[in-house]
Structure formats: structure tokens, C-alpha cells
Amino acid sequence: MKIAVVLLLLKILLITSGCSNKDYPVKIEIINGISIYQNPNYPKIKNPTVQLKEELAIGIEEGDENYLFYMPNDVAVDSKENIYVLEYGNCRLQVYNKNGNYLRTISRKGQGPGEIWAPTGLDIDKHDNIYLVDSIMRRVTILNPDGTYNNNFSIETGFPMHLFVDGQGSIFISKYQSQVKVNSGFSLQNIISIYDSNGKCLHNFEESIGVSRQQFKTSTAVISTGIPFSPTTVWTINSEGHCYIGVSSKYEISVYNKQGEIVQKFGVNRSPKPIKQKDKDEALEKMNKVPSNFKKDIVFNDVKPFFYGFIADHQGNIWILTEFNNQSKEYTYDVFNAEGIYSMKVTLSQRPRLFKDGFMYTIESTEKGYKQVKKYKITFDKNFLIHDTSKNKWDNLPY
């Protein structure tokens, strides 16, 4: 499944640490039947050390085209540990065995049954059926485990971008729609919906915020660009079909059941970080499509988003990406357990696309610029120290 499988070691460490919630000053309230967990701005477990051991790398600079990736954008693993790599650029789905050997290519560019035009999302259910979402064709394609065509259905409104399939076969899809004018630009609303395998929309979740973009008119064209540090909707699901949705302008995550009811909320009591002039200058430097004389008109927010991405696992743990630096390869996650307790803070050297059975899968660029899909064994050390509430501080707080 695309849903990240929690590392069993993580749960064991949380249990065997000997720390109960009484040792950690989380504020728990029940309002209108909803459990709300407000965590302090530090995790329950102190200074965990994470070790990544590379087990496998798929992708080469030149040679066999079955190992040459062009704009890979998603990864999935089936019950036999076969690895599926979706390529937006080549409009294909490549399949490799657990040792990284090429097995077959599924689908091709086209508009017919089983074909894809602009693939943006991939998932595999517990029966190894394959799900592909196509943003331009605005449809979801379902393939049998051997890659043959099974079914597809159209998305009537919006442009689908990402999808997850839960343990019961429900399909969760995010889609951009409803352009709302904002200042000199517009906002694309990010709507999250549940579908069955026949394409019937079962529910639309209410909590949503758009992706802000700004427009500039030149003598020959209208340029549209995303606004750095703009808040947006971040989401994932767990294997039970609970949907975790957060708007990144507030550190609060709402947990919904399939009926669209909020069953839990959790977050961290944290102040937002201001956007400094250095942040703006670095962001503007990367905006190559915007003419230099227009960059002065870019409207930034005052503060940064609290988070940028979620990964959920089948036991309810949530990994929330709070900081990242692609150049230095540092990706910082707040990890919450099934109760909504802020368990630990972890910095990884790669951004995970998938956790499964104790392994982490990534899509990376090499120093020479070509893409690789990598598989890492991920482990945590056993030397965990618990926050000392009597001092209300860490002895050697690293951040």
C-alpha cells in the first residue's frame, strides 16, 4: 500500500520507554465528542538517532532504457515486494523485483483504456490491484495485478492530482478546482474526496485551502507562478480509512472518518516562524520564469507554513514534514503516535516517499543529475531519553 507502514521498532520503543502520558504535559480536551490533543513544543522522546542503510538503488545515467527515469513522481510496493515506479515524463509504470531487476512496463502514453497521459499518482491495494490517477485525462485507471486493464472512471469536476487506497478499497483523491481570485492572482482549491471502485463519489471533505498563485502580464504572455511559503492543504490516510487533513497555516490536524465526521484533532503549541528577507531573496532567485522586473511585485505572507507533507502508517502514526533543505538534504519530521501524542522529532538525509515493512523508499537526484529510486533499511537507536518535566527543558536540546 502507498500508506506508510509504521516501523514496528518505533512502537516498541514508545512502549518500552517507560514513559506514560502523565510524564508528558499534553493537554487533552473532549469538545462535542471530539478528542483534542494539544502537545507542547517538544517531543516525548529525546534525541532519537536514525540510521539509514542503503539496500538498493534503481536507475542509471545511460544504457538500458528500462532503467532510465524521466521525471519519476511516485513509488509503490506490492505484497511480493515488487517495486513500482511511476514516470510522469515517460508516461509509463516500471516494475522491478525486490532485487531491483526489471520485470515489465505497464501502460503507455495515450487516451485509450489502461493508457495514461499525465500520471500524477499511484497506489496498490492489499490485493495488488494498481491504481493510477491522470490529471489531464481527469480519470482514475484500475489495473489487475498483472497490469492488464480492469476499469476506469472519470473525475467530473476538478483536476485529480494524488490518490490513496485504504484497506477496504475506498479511493481517496485530491483535486484542484474552483479558481478563487486573490489580489493580483488566484487560488486553486484543493478538494479531497472519497470514491468507490466504480467512480461514485461518496464524500467530499470540507476542510480545504487553495494553492496561491500570482499572475503577471507581459507584452506577449500572462505568467502564472506559485507564491513561496503560501499555506495549503496537506493530507494523507491510514489503512482504516481515516483521513488526516491539515491547513499549514495552523499546526492542527483533523482526523476524519469516512462519513466526513471529525473524530480527533491533534497539534503542537508552536509559534510560526517569520519569513525573513533572506528567505524571500532565496525564493525569488529560484523563480526563473518570472521576469526580474516583476519579482518586486510578489506578495509574500508574513510567516512560514507549519508543515509541508504527511506520511501515515497502518498503526496510526503520522510523520509530518516541518522543515526541509533540498540542497543540504535535511528533512525534519514531527512524529505523532496513534493517540495524537508528539512522540519524537527526526531529521532524515532523504525525503521518504513510502515506508513499508521496515524500509524507506525515496526518489533522488544523483550528483550527475539523473534520477534513482532507492530502498533503505531504517532503524532507530535504543538510547532514548525522556523529557524531564521537573526542569521543563532538555539538558542538550538540539533545536
pLDDT tens-digit profile of 198-231?
Answer: 999 999 986 566 666 777 677 777 777 778 898 8
Q: What is the mean pLDDT of residues 318-326?
A: 93
Q: Is the pLDDT of residue 188 over 50?
A: yes
CA angle 243, 6, 241 (to 5 degrees): 20
What are the boundaries of each domain within the chain? 8-386
Q: What is the mean pLDDT of residues 80-95?
A: 97
pLDDT-derived band of residue 138, with 50, 70 and 90 as boundaries?
Answer: very high
Which pairing describes strands 330-336 and 318-325: parallel, antiparallel, or unpaired? antiparallel
CA angle 306, 310, 316 (to 5 degrees): 120
Q: How far apart are CA 24 and CA 14, in angstroms?
A: 13
Q: What is the mean pLDDT of residues 99-109?
A: 96
Report the DSSP beta bridge partners of residue 179.
188
Q: How far apart are CA 202 and CA 169, in angstroms?
A: 13
Average pLDDT score, the chain: 85
CA angle 309, 241, 349 (to 5 degrees): 25
Judge residue 307's burial from the number of C-beta atoms within 10 Å of its C-beta, 0-12 exposed, 13-18 middle, 19 or more buried: buried
* Residue 317, pLDDT score: 78
Sequence-distant (6+) residues with CB within 8 A of 169 are 125, 196, 197
Q: Give the cell for residue 168.
A: 477496504
Q: Is the pLDDT of residue 184 over 60?
A: no
Q: Give the cell for residue 314.
A: 497502518
> What's the pLDDT tens digit per position in 13-72?
443 333 445 689 999 999 999 999 999 999 998 888 888 999 999 999 999 999 999 999
Other C-beta atoms lying within 10 Å of the C-beta of residue 282? 11
Q: Does domain 8-386 have CATH number 1.10.3720.10?
A: no
Q: What is the CA radius of gyration of the chain?
A: 22
- What is the number of alpha carbons within 13 Å of residue 178 lying toward its C-beta? 8
* Residue 10, pLDDT score: 44
Q: What is the mean pLDDT of residues 147-169?
A: 93
Q: Rounded to an integer, what is the distance from CA 370 to the centroid of its chain?
A: 22
* Residue 137, pLDDT score: 94
Does residue 147 come out as left (phi exceeding 0), alpha (psi in the -120 to 50 range) or beta? left
- What is the number of alpha carbons within 13 Å of residue 245 lying toward its C-beta? 25
Q: What is the mean pLDDT of residues 266-280?
A: 96
